[in-house]
A and B are shown apart, each in its own frame.
Chain A
Amino acid sequence: MSLGRYLSFFSDTYYLNIFVRTIRVSLICTLVCMILGIPTAYFISRTSKKVRGVLMAIAIFPMLTNSVIRAFAWINVLGKNGIINQILGIFNIEPVSMLYTEFSVLIGTIYLFLPLMIITLVGVMENIDNDMMEAAESLGANRIVAFFKVILPMSVPGIITGSVLVFTGALTAYTTPQLLGGPSNMLMSTLIYQRAMTLNDWTSASVIALIMIVTTLIVMKGLNYVASKLDKRGLE
């Protein structure tokens, strides 16, 4: 396979759009998972062992549920006759079409990977001794300051690991964009399947597959590089 094929991938606006959309969805998904995951994981990590077990079970449960079911659940929520539109209907608001948009893909992807972020972060945060928080407080930090000055910097390795997992996961997820995105919101993974199985276009499928692997690798190496830079102080 020649280099030309890769160049033609990036010069074809159709492909390029899909590539950019995939990166955009993965990036926003990672950010949202971070913003929602960090406080939630901190909340979970500070509960008693018993409560933590229950909360973790609730967080793990969607992860163990088939992704078809999870996507199907969001079809029920976001669809034309879905929950949200029915509620809007009560207030005589015209149905909004949310399904088969980039928004629905994003929601589905966040739903897919938020538990992963939470679980990764809890793993790191529950090992942060409560003494750290108390030490910061005794030195004059209120809870919010102590969280940002002590807990957050100490959680950086977990945040990086979680972000790598979420980003690469979102980049390569197939079922969710297939069911929630529809043909007009294709991502790289759905594109591969379409090229290979529907159009029998093996060359394109292989090119996309390789681009996907390379992108994943670059992101992983990149984030790990950032981590090692941030981490040169050597977190334990």
Chain B
Amino acid sequence: MAEVRLENITVSYDGKNNVLEGLNLKVNEGELLALLGPSGCGKTTTLRVIAGFIDPKDGHMYCDDRDFTRIPVHKRNFGLVFQSYALFPHLNVYENVAFGLKLRKMDKVTIEKKVTEILKVCDLTEFKDRLPKNLSGGQRQRVALARALVIEPELLLLDEPLSNLDAKLRLNMRVEIKRIQKKLGITTVFVTHDQEECFSISDKVAVMNGGVIEQFGTPEEIYTRPKTEFVARFIGFENFIKLHKVDGVLECADGTKISVDDSGDKDECLLTIRPDDIKIVADDYKGENVLCGEVVVRTYLGKSYQYETMTPFGKVVVNDASGTLYNTGDKIRMVLDKAKIVLV
């Protein structure tokens, strides 16, 4: 098990534009770190730098304080699971899993013992003679995982491993990966663009955008306290309202005063809040942080209704589970939960 550090990693494919820009990242021993971001943000590139497929133009990668930057892929002993799984089609499940062990020149008995063991952990024992093409998506996924784990890697790298599975299987595999990872205590880096997947599985999250890490923290920190507009938008904040400071108090464009716990030190900022953290209140409601809007669209979400409303400073979306129905054109009053307001 290992601790991994990236220091000042810069990567460029064409020599001009940098895909990664002075990236710093640390994964503690036994931790599962998720790299989260939209496609093209550099998360897969980061993973490929760690794996050793890409030589960074600048910077270093350390594994337990040993400099790994120039160590070739096949000497790193990192387990890797590809999005495509990359199972060898000419080898059956057993041979796929045994591939790495055979390269390590282990004797037959040891190989058999280790493969049998990991197949059991991954629930694959009964499929060991099958070829990859005769396996379901979930089974292939587990073979890929078993093949990466059996070499007892210092580090496990997962590149969007769940994105080719259907929704239900994805939930199961998510739990499965977490279980195996904790059981073996293996340091893991997990690349995903799915925020829900990322929060449910990881110990730490790095949200990436344009080749840099926008925010690094625990899933809870990121979910409740996004630091930038990009992070907020990416993890599901929908309402963004421009605020400016008048005599130390934050106001909307139309003068509505907004009270928050910490108003920050910027003169202008963006207020953001999730639709779930806004409540629709009666017309006679007296209190802070009340906005008025007119219902434009009503959408039924199952457990609640979502209203898209138009306010003097733009669109505000609110989820309402109270059961009172409002129609298009209705004027409603909404209160923002002071504790849930985030300024970016």
Query: Are A and B direct contacts in the complex by CB distance below 8 Å?
Result: yes
Chain A positions within 8 Å of B, measured between CB atoms, are 129, 131-132, 134-142, 145-146, 149-150, 153-154, 156, 233-236
Contact B82 A134 (CB under 8 A): yes
B99 at interface (Cβ–Cβ under 8 A)? yes
Contact A138 B78 (CB under 8 A): yes
**Within 8 Å CB of A235, what residues of B?**
89-90
Complex CA–CA separation, A138 to B80 (angstroms):
6
- Cβ of B184 within 8 Å of any chain A Cβ, yes or no, is no
Which one of B69-77, B163-171, B211-219, B314-322 is at the A interface? B69-77
* Residue from A129, A132, A137, A233 in contact with B73 in the complex, judged by beta carbons closer than 8 Å: A137
Q: Which residue of B lies closest to A149 (CB)?
A: B99
Q: Let me know if A154 and B89 touch, CB within 8 A.
A: yes
Q: Mark B28-62, 1 if CB is under 8 A from A, else 0.
A: 00000000000000000000000101000000000
Contact residues in A for B103 (Cβ distance below 8 Å): 139-141, 145
Q: A142, B72: Cβ atoms under 8 Å?
A: yes
Contacting residues, chain B, for A236 (C-beta < 8 A): 89, 133
Indicate if B280 sits at the interface (CB-CB under 8 A). no
State the CA gap A183–B79 with chains docked (Å).
Answer: 63
CB <8 Å contact, B74 and A140: yes
Q: Are B80 and A233 in contact (CB under 8 A)?
A: no
Q: What residues on A are CB-neighbors of B84 within 8 Å? A: 129, 131
> Contacts A145-B103, A233-B131, A236-B133: A138 and B88 contacting too (C-beta < 8 A)?
no
> Could you tell me how many residues of chain B have their Cβ less than 8 Å away from some Cβ of chain A?
30
Question: Given the known A-B contacts A138-B51, A138-B74, are A132 and B88 also in contact in the complex, defined by CB atoms under 8 Å?
Answer: yes
Q: Which of B73, B91, B100, B147 contacts A134 (CB 8 A)?
A: B73
Query: When chains A and B are docked, how far (Å) is the Cα of A150 from the Cα of B147?
Result: 15
Closest to B53 in A: A134
Known interface pairs A140-B74, A140-B77, A140-B103. Does A131 touch B86 (Cβ–Cβ under 8 Å)?
A: yes
Q: How far, in Å, is A145 (CB) from chain B's closest CB?
A: 7
Q: Which of B53, B99, B157 contacts A139 (CB 8 A)?
A: B99
Asked whether A234 lies within 8 Å of B86 as measured between CB atoms, the reply is no
The contact string, 1 if C-beta is below 8 Å from chain A, for chain B 77-116, is 1111010101111111000000110011000000000000
Contact of A137 among B74, B87, B92, B131 (CB under 8 A): B74
- Whether A136 pairs with B148 at a CB distance below 8 angstroms is no
Nearest chain A CB to B327 CB, angstrom units: 53
B151 interfacial contact with A, CB 8 Å: yes
Assuming the A-B contacts A135-B80, A149-B99, are A140 and B88 also in contact, with contact meaning beta carbons closer than 8 angstroms in the complex?
Answer: no
Q: Which of A134, A141, A156 contacts B86 (CB 8 A)?
A: A134
**Known contacts A137-B73, A137-B74; is-contact A154 B90 (Cβ 8 Å):** yes
Q: How far is the CB of B341 from chain A (nearest CB, A)?
A: 45
Nearest residue, chain A, Cβ from B48: A134
Question: B51, B89, B100, B104 — which one has the most chain A CB atoms within 10 A of its CB?
Answer: B89
Give the complex CA separation of A153 and B88 in angstroms.
10
B74 touching A234, Cβ below 8 Å? no
Flag if B104 contacts A138 (CB, 8 Å). Answer: no
Cα A150 to Cα B96 with chains together (Å): 11
Contacts of A135 in B (CB 8 A): 80, 82, 86-88, 147
Q: Tell me the nearest residue of chain B to A154, going by C-beta.
A: B90
| Chain A minimum-CB-distance residue to B75 | A140
Q: Which residue of A lies closest to B147 (CB)?
A: A139
Q: Which residues of A contact B88 (CB under 8 A)?
A: 132, 135-136, 150, 153-154
Q: Which residue of B lies closest to A145 (CB)?
A: B103
Bound: A139/B151 CA distance, A: 7
Inter-chain CA distance A139–B88, complex, in Å, is: 12
The residue of chain B having its C-beta at the shortest distance from the C-beta of A150 within the complex is B88
Residue from B53, B84, B90, B103 having most chain A Cβ neighbours under 10 A: B90
**A131 and B82 form a contact (CB under 8 A):** yes
Inter-chain contacts of A137 with B (CB < 8 A): 53, 72-74
Which residues does chain A contribute within 8 Å of B131, judged by CB atoms?
A: 233-234
A236 to B133, CA, bound (A): 8
- Asked if A134 contacts B80 (CB within 8 A), the reply is yes
Contact B92 A233 (CB under 8 A): yes
Q: List 16 A-B contacts (CB under 8 A).
A: A131-B82, A134-B80, A134-B82, A135-B82, A136-B99, A137-B74, A138-B73, A138-B74, A138-B157, A139-B74, A139-B147, A142-B72, A154-B88, A154-B89, A233-B92, A236-B89
Chain B residue at minimal CB-CB distance from A152 = B90
Also in contact, A129 and B86, with CB within 8 A (given A138-B148, A139-B103, A140-B103): yes
Most central of A137, A142, A149 by chain B CB within 10 Å: A137
Closest to A131 in B: B86
B76 to chain A, nearest CB (A): 8
**Which chain A residues lie closer than 8 Å to B157 at the CB level?**
138
Q: Kindly list chain B residues whose C-beta atoms are within 8 Å of the C-beta of A154.
A: 88-90
The reply to whether A138 and B89 form a contact with Cβ atoms under 8 Å apart is no
User: Smallest distance from the beta carbon of A84 to chain B beta carbons, Å?
Assistant: 42
Min CB–CB distance B128 → chain A (angstroms): 14
Minimum C-beta distance from B290 to chain A (A): 55
Residue of A nearest to B98 (CB): A139
Residues of A within 8 A of B78 (CB): 138
